[in-house]
């Protein structure tokens, strides 16, 4: 099975941070979002697995980083998604549908001799701003052991929030009947959770429908969404099952979700802050409240840090009180009181008392 990851988007909801880096490089609980995602794959997939990343915005950062850290862990392929245009020198693209379609050539010339081959030669699709909390082995067991052509992960959401999600309607066997993007009328509380796995023949049918829709696009056409082509698969008789996640998925597409995800990961991961000396972390006259991650070469003095704070390496914090925040690397903070805030890399801030602040990279306040 090949893994397809669209990571070309600009992450507009995470600006100003994504002006200088891809959204998958936002750091939470000590690691980039992309690292959390790829590390999860290593628990299930072997080193021969092909990882196909669809890159675009800040593509060189992603390619260089993944090649440096994962070349010995996956068979890497990078495919560029070309911008459809620019606004204020920021590229925009044809959307998730085109991104997935661009991987189609990697599925050519595959010989299928059995139903086992058909499933094994299929694809798994993930999104670059979502971290799955369940193990992929759980999903793949449902995929391989059920008589289905594919699976789509779902999670239950409150009825009053269902209109904000892509929603699936299922039969008594959890086979998807229809999919509706942000329905105006209540259909169900099963929201699409962003992980997909399809057999080879279903993958090829998906590519074919995406190609037809892409061939028909015009200058005024909106983004090519994936949901419409998935509905085509269902209407064409492909049996796609909804697999409800046991633990859920973390969405890092916007600032509030980033803080929520950071908090969750800090609570549920083993973060060892007892070896400060080996990581060159100096803490003087400060109170550290769990759960907290502190990166290498940090200096903290006369401060109260935590709970739920992630601090990037090479940062310096003095005379501050900080709670429920994500602070990226090489930040210099002095006389700060803040909570529910996100502070970028290479930032210098002094004398500020304010909640819910968002400060991008390289700011000096």
CATH at residue 289: 2.160.10.10
Residues making up the chain, counted from first to last: 365
Residue 110, pLDDT score = 86
CATH of the domain at 185: 3.90.550.10
Residue 327, pLDDT score = 94
Residue 94, pLDDT score = 85
Pair 202, 100 in one domain? yes
Residue 119, pLDDT score = 95
pLDDT digits (tens, 9 = 90+) for 189-248: 999 998 999 999 999 999 999 999 999 987 777 788 888 899 999 999 999 999 999 888
Q: How many domains does the chain have?
A: 2
| 3 state SS of 160 | helix
Pair 35, 119 in one domain? yes
Name the one residue in this structure whose structure tokens are 């925009």. Answer: 92
- Ramachandran area for residue 232 (φ above 0: left; ψ -120 to 50: alpha; else beta): alpha
Pair 253, 286 in one domain? no
Pair 191, 64 in one domain? yes
Upstream peptide bond of 16 is cis (omega within 30 degrees of 0): yes
Pair 89, 190 in one domain? yes
Is residue 88 predicted with pLDDT exceeding 90?
no
pLDDT digits (tens, 9 = 90+) for 10-30: 877 777 777 778 888 888 888
Pair 174, 101 in one domain? yes
> Quick check: 213 and 206 in contact, CB under 8 A?
no
* Averaged pLDDT score across all residues of the chain: 91
Let me know if residue 365 belongs to a domain.
Answer: no
pTM, two decimal places: 0.89
Name the one residue in this structure whose structure tokens are 């009328």. Answer: 185
Which helix (DSSP H) or strand (DSSP E) does residue 166 occupy? strand 166-170
The Cα 113–Cα 191 span in angstroms is 35
- Ramachandran area for residue 29 (φ above 0: left; ψ -120 to 50: alpha; else beta): left
Let me know if residue 14 belongs to a domain.
Answer: yes
The Cα 224–Cα 210 span in angstroms is 8
Residue 173, pLDDT score = 92
Let me know if residue 266 belongs to a domain.
Answer: no
Pair 157, 229 in one domain? yes
Pair 352, 212 in one domain? no
Is residue 153 predicted with pLDDT exceeding 80?
yes
Is residue 302 predicted with pLDDT exceeding 90?
yes
Residue 275, pLDDT score = 74
Is residue 271 predicted with pLDDT exceeding 60?
no
Let me know if residue 320 belongs to a domain.
Answer: yes
Pair 136, 243 in one domain? yes
Is residue 176 predicted with pLDDT exceeding 60?
yes
Is residue 299 predicted with pLDDT exceeding 60?
yes
Pair 291, 196 in one domain? no
Is residue 341 predicted with pLDDT exceeding 80?
yes
Residue 273, pLDDT score = 57
Strands (E) in 229-291, as ranges, are 240-244, 249-251, 282-284, 287-288
Let me know if residue 364 belongs to a domain.
Answer: no
Let me know if residue 67 belongs to a domain.
Answer: yes
Pair 30, 115 in one domain? yes
Q: Which domain holds residue 301?
A: 271-359
* Average pLDDT, integer, range 336-365: 93
Q: Which of 260, 294, 317 is the last residue of a domain?
A: 260
Residue 218, pLDDT score = 76
Q: Which of 237, 260, 283 is the last residue of a domain?
A: 260
Let me know if residue 132 belongs to a domain.
Answer: yes
Residue 80, pLDDT score = 96
Q: Under 8 Å CB-to-CB from 239, ≥6 apart: which residues?
A: 147, 148, 149, 150, 175
Pair 144, 277 in one domain? no
> Quick check: 298 and 315 in contact, CB under 8 A?
yes
- Both structure tokens of 204: 């090829």
pLDDT digits (tens, 9 = 90+) for 47-68: 889 999 999 989 999 999 999 9
Let me know if residue 349 belongs to a domain.
Answer: yes
> Quick check: 310 and 262 in contact, CB under 8 A?
yes
Q: Which of 233, 260, 287 is the last residue of a domain?
A: 260
């Amino acid at each position: 099975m090949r893994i397809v990851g669209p990571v070309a988007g600009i992450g507009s909801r995470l600006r100003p941070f994504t002006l200088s880096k891809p959204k998958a490089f936002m750091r939470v609980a000590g690691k980039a979002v992309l690292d959390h995602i790829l590390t999860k794959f290593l628990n299930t997939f072997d080193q021969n697995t092909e990882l196909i990343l669809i890159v675009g915005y800040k593509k060189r950062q992603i390619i260089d980083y993944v090649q440096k850290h994962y070349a010995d862990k996956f068979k890497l392929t990078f495919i560029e998604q070309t911008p459809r245009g620019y606004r204020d020198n920021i590229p925009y693209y044809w959307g998730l549908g085109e991104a997935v379609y661009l991987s189609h050539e990697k599925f050519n010339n595959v010989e299928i001799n059995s139903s086992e081959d058909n499933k094994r030669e299929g694809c798994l699709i993930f999104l670059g701003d979502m971290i799955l909390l369940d193990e992929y082995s759980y999903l793949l067991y449902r995929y391989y052991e059920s008589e289905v052509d594919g699976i789509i992960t779902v999670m239950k959401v409150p009825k009053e929030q269902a209109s904000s999600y892509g929603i699936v309607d299922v039969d008594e066997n959890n086979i998807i009947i229809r999919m509706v993007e942000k329905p105006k009328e209540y259909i169900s509380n099963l929201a699409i959770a962003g992980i997909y796995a399809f057999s080879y023949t279903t993958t090829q049918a998906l590519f074919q429908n995406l190609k037809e829709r892409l061939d028909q696009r015009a200058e005024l056409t909106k983004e090519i969404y994936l949901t419409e082509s998935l509905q085509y698969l269902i209407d064409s008789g492909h049996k796609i099952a909804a697999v409800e996640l046991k633990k859920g998925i973390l969405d890092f597409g916007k600032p509030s979700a980033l803080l929520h995800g950071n908090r969750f990961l800090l609570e549920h991961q083993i973060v060892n802050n007892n070896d400060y000396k080996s990581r060159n972390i100096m803490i003087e006259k400060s109170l550290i409240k769990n759960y907290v991650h502190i990166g290498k070469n940090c200096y903290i003095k006369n401060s109260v840090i935590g709970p739920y704070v992630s601090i990037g390496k090479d940062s310096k914090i003095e005379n501050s009180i900080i709670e429920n925040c994500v602070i990226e690397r090489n930040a210099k903070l002095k006389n700060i009181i803040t909570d529910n805030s996100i502070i970028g890399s290479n930032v210098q801030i002094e004398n500020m008392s304010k909640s819910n602040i968002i400060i991008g990279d390289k700011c000096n306040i």
